[in-house]
Structure 1
Amino acid sequence: MMSTISFAQSKEEKAVASQVELLRKAMVDADKASLEKVANEKLSYGHSGGKIEDKTAFVSNIVSGKSDFVSIDLSDQTIAISGNTAIVRHTLTAETNDNGVAGHVKLYVLLVWSKEGSQWKLLARQAVKVPA
């Protein structure tokens, strides 16, 4: 489920929101082709525990099940665009099954998207745990 403020969205904000949804679905489905398509070659993917992955590690950890998202729900999403850069913030609530171990995460996520030609690509991501 993705919630956005649809009445205030520009064409570019809608394009970014649809890329965020594509990323969410690709992470749940462990869809290698979609993950590779949505990610910038210089992706810097920061986990809430401090681990940083490049594009290759991000894609392979999702596809291999090392990072396995059973479900991902996004809420409180905001999108701000400045030129060819978009900043997306949201709260991610997910059921996980990393390496076969069931878990639950709630994170604040910052995504930085870069427009390449007509396509928005994920350039950076940083997550922090929501304080209990």
Structure 2
Amino acid sequence: MKIETVVNAEIELLTAIKKSDVLALDTILHDDLLFNMPDGQTITKEFDLQAYRSGKMKIDSLEASDQIVNIIENTAVVAVTVSLKGTYDATAINGVFKYIRVWKKSGKNLKVIAGSCVQLA
């Protein structure tokens, strides 16, 4: 696995999030994904997809910075800072978040198998 492959996968993921592209997210997220939200809630792939599918999750802007990629055998761990503006269920989301995502080779694709996010500002 190459760092540039992981960086490109991250770009695909962020683009899918910005566009609420459920089909792309369905491909990128592993079926057994677990993700910890800033409020401590652990969500699944289906929960995440449903948030976009239903229109509850709307992203107005998203900018990533300070990306660190570590490759460990056939797994990659990405830490990234994301400045985010949008709404979830009509509640404003506005802030800077630190994400950690775990990518694993699954078949011929990289998939997100786990992640977590904390709010910085």
Q: Smaller-chain TM-score range?
A: over 0.9
| TM-score, scaled relative to structure 1 | 0.85
**Matched residue, 1:122:** 112
Tell me how many residue pairs correspond in the alignment. Answer: 121
DSSP 3-state at the match of 2:2? helix
Quick one: percent identity of the two aligned structures? 25
| TM-score, scaled relative to structure 2 | 0.92
State the distance in 2 between where 1:63 and 1:111 align.
Answer: 22
Structure 1 unmatched ranges of 5 or more: 1-10
**Matched residue, 1:65:** 55
For residues 76-114 of structure 1, the C-alpha deviation after alignment (integer angstroms, 9 at most, x for no partner) is 001010111100001011111222344312111000001
DSSP 3-state at the match of 1:68? strand
Deviates more, 1:101-110 or 1:112-121: 101-110
Match of 1:20 among 1, 7, 10: 10
Instruction: Check if 1:107 corresponds to 2:97.
Output: yes
State the distance in 2 between where 1:30 and 1:78 align.
Answer: 25
Instruction: Check if 1:29 corresponds to 2:19.
Output: yes
Whichever residue aligns with residue 48 of structure 1, its letter is P
**Matched residue, 1:4:** none
Whichever residue aligns with residue 42 of structure 1, its letter is D
Q: Tell me the C-alpha RMSD between the 2 structures.
A: 1.4
Query: Higher strand share goes to which structure?
Result: 2
Whichever residue aligns with residue 58 of structure 2, its letter is D
Whichever residue aligns with residue 43 of structure 1, its letter is L
